[in-house]
Amino acid sequence: MRKYSVNRKTKETDIKVDVNLDGRGKSDINTGIGFLDHMIDQISKHSLIDIIIHAKGDLHVDYHHTTEDSALALGNAFSSALGDRKGIVRFGQALSAMDETLSRVVVDCSNRPFLVWKVNLTIPQLGEMDTELFKEWFQSFSQSAGITLHVENLYGENNHHIIESCFKGLARALRQAISIDTRRNDEIPSTKGKL
Q: pLDDT tens across 83-123, in order?
A: 999 999 999 999 999 999 999 999 999 999 999 999 999 99
At 138 the three-state DSSP class reads helix
For residue 195, tell me if it sits in a domain: no
Residue 163 maps to which CATH number? 3.30.230.40
Q: For the chain, how are helix, strand and coil distributed in percent, rounded to 5?
A: 35, 30, 35
For residue 88, tell me if it sits in a domain: yes
pLDDT tens readout for residues 10-63: 999 999 999 999 999 999 999 999 999 999 999 999 999 999 999 999 999 999
Which residues, in sequence order, are bridge partners of residue 29? 53
For residue 191, tell me if it sits in a domain: no
For residue 36, tell me if it sits in a domain: yes
In angstroms, the CA 146 to CA 27 distance is 22
For residue 127, tell me if it sits in a domain: yes
Instruction: Please work out, in degrees rounded to the nearest 5, the angle formed at the alpha carbon of residue 76 by the alpha carbons of 70 and 79.
Output: 140
Whether the Cβ atoms of residue 104 and residue 152 lie closer than 8 Å to each other: yes
Q: Which range marks the domain in which residue 161 is found?
A: 3-177
In angstroms, the CA 56 to CA 53 distance is 10
pLDDT at 24: 98
Instruction: Say how many domains are in the chain.
Output: 1
Positive or negative, the CA dihedral 78, 84, 88, 92 is positive
Q: What is the DSSP letter of 180?
A: B
For residue 91, tell me if it sits in a domain: yes
Whether the Cβ atoms of residue 173 and residue 151 lie closer than 8 Å to each other: no
What is the pTM assigned to this prediction? 0.97
Q: Determine the distance from the C-alpha atom of residue 35 to the mean position of all C-alpha atoms in its chain, rounded to a whole number.
A: 14
For residue 190, tell me if it sits in a domain: no
pLDDT at 99: 98
Which residues, in sequence order, are bridge partners of residue 101? 98
Nearest to 145 by CA among 79, 194, 82: 79
Whether the Cβ atoms of residue 50 and residue 116 lie closer than 8 Å to each other: no
In angstroms, the CA 165 to CA 79 distance is 23
For residue 126, tell me if it sits in a domain: yes
Whether the Cβ atoms of residue 77 and residue 4 lie closer than 8 Å to each other: yes
